[in-house]
Amino acid sequence: MNGSSMYSCVTKDIEVTVLPEFVPERSDVDEGQYFWAYTVEIANQSSATVQVTARHWKITDANGRLEEVKGAGIVGEQPVLKPGETFRYTSGCPLSTSSGIMSGTYRVVDEAGIAFEIEIPAFSLDSPFTQRVIN
């Protein structure tokens, strides 16, 4: 995929992989609007069934402004993953700068009702328009 980087990390045998991609047709550089799509894959490599119940994103733009997004579920769902199952979805992120960084966590509940956080790998949002700032 046109040089996009994949990012992944594993928490408690649950792997989260992210593939971000700049979307030029949804961006308006002259207006300072930049848009990325990111595809997330959550793979349950553990021996227990788990449910993803919430998300917490941290989005930092090129100016260091932090935006936090918290909510129930992901893309309107609270997917249940049996051992070996994978849930995949694509979402988007607009920024007013030509680059940024996203990271975060998902809240997961196991069969015993125990909730824990799994890490979303920090990934960079890069566009062809990234200004090289020279200090």
- Are 102 and 59 in contact, with CB atoms under 8 Å apart? yes
Mean predicted lDDT score pLDDT of the chain? 93
> According to the model, what pLDDT value does residue 2 have?
46
- Are 44 and 17 in contact, with CB atoms under 8 Å apart? no
Instruction: Find the radius of gyration of the CA atoms of the chain.
Output: 16
Span 99-119, pLDDT tens digits: 999 999 999 999 999 999 999
State the DSSP H helix or E strand holding residue 88, giving kind and residue range, or none if neither.
strand 86-95
Say if residue 49's pLDDT is above 80: yes
Q: Is the pTM of this model over 0.75?
A: yes
- Residue 92: pLDDT band (50, 70, 90) is very high
Going by C-alpha positions, the residue among 76, 78, 85, 68 that lies closest to residue 115 is 78
d(CA 107, CA 118): 6
Say if residue 60's pLDDT is above 90: yes
Structural domains for the chain: 7-125 (2.60.40.1470)
Specify the 3-state DSSP secondary structure of 25. helix
Say if residue 134's pLDDT is above 80: no
Token pair, residue 25, equals 């047709």
Say if residue 90's pLDDT is above 90: yes
Taking residues 121-134, what's their average pLDDT? Answer: 82
Taking residues 8-12, what's their average pLDDT? Answer: 97
State the DSSP H helix or E strand holding residue 102, giving kind and residue range, or none if neither.
strand 99-110
- Residue 55: pLDDT band (50, 70, 90) is very high
